[in-house]
Amino acid sequence: MTDAALTEWLRGADDARPLLVAPDGHATFEVPASIAVFPGSFNPLHAGHRGIADAAGALTQRLVVFELSVTNVDKPPLDAAEVLRRLDQFAGVAPVVLTRAPRFIKKARALPGSVFVLGWDTFVRLLEPRYYDSVEAMRDALREMRELGCRFVVAGRLVDEQFRTLELDEVPEEFRDLFQALPDFRLDISSTELRGEAERTG
């Protein structure tokens, strides 16, 4: 049965508040403070995601909450049916926070004090000026995220046959204190490849 708060949140396109959905399906606007937030599309959720979450929890000593934004910078918004389908993957597994925050500055405003858990590819996009109005707008956003008490843990990722990890010299010096590598974790699984395999075998 779909939780009433979740149903109302999915109907309310203007509701910017994050909604926490517990593993048992109960939904609440009472999101814990000082959490680690792992954003993603989770289409599908796989062992790589769960492994990163476990490693990030051990590193940060925080509750790890997966985050699913129903709006996305690069993709169409998710409809209610698709949100529910993706949430079903987390039943009995882990909490998920739903947001309407496609950019990290909006995630930080919605979830201040969070440690955001990123894959290397997402880390690169976070520092790309094309996702902002300008280089200075990017810097302003990172400064505001620092003021909001947010920081980032970056997991390595296999890209073009090369395993890429956080290199602090790729980060503007002013912001290097915001980033930390997730050490000693590697599991090369691609959601895109999993979806392709499911289509071929389905």
Question: Is 80 exceeded by the pLDDT of residue 185?
Answer: no
Q: H-helix or E-strand containing 117? A: strand 115-119
Per-residue pLDDT tens over the stretch 90-119: 999 999 999 999 999 999 999 999 999 999
Q: For residue 9, what pLDDT is reported? A: 94
- DSSP β-ladder status, 19-21 and 179-181: unpaired
pLDDT band at 196 (very low <50, low <70, confident <90, very high): low
Paired tokens of 116:
């955001």
pLDDT band at 188 (very low <50, low <70, confident <90, very high): low
Q: H-helix or E-strand containing 116? A: strand 115-119
Question: Is 80 exceeded by the pLDDT of residue 52?
Answer: yes
Rounded mean pLDDT of 27-52? 95
- DSSP β-ladder status, 157-159 and 19-21: unpaired
Question: Residue 115: how many CB atoms within 10 A of its CB?
Answer: 21
User: Helix or strand or coil: residue 171?
Assistant: coil
**pTM greater than 0.85 (yes/no):** yes
Q: For residue 192, what pLDDT is reported? A: 55
CATH value of 4-201 in 3.90.420.10, 3.90.320.10, 2.30.30.180, 3.40.50.620:
3.40.50.620
Question: Is 70 exceeded by the pLDDT of residue 129?
Answer: yes
Question: Residue 112: how many CB atoms within 10 A of its CB?
Answer: 14
How far apart CA 20 and CA 26 sit, in angstroms, is 8
DSSP label of 70: S
Contacts of 117 (CB under 8 A, 6+ apart): 36, 37, 38, 39, 52, 53, 56, 64, 152, 153, 155, 182
For the chain, domain boundaries: 4-201
Q: For residue 3, what pLDDT is reported? A: 84
pLDDT band at 198 (very low <50, low <70, confident <90, very high): very low
Name the more confident of 167 and 74: 167
Contacts of 173 (CB under 8 A, 6+ apart): none
Q: For residue 186, what pLDDT is reported? A: 65
Q: For residue 1, what pLDDT is reported? A: 47
Per-residue pLDDT tens over the stretch 161-174: 888 999 999 999 99
Across 40-108, the runs of DSSP E, i.e. the strands, are 64-69, 96-99
Question: Is 80 exceeded by the pLDDT of residue 2?
Answer: no
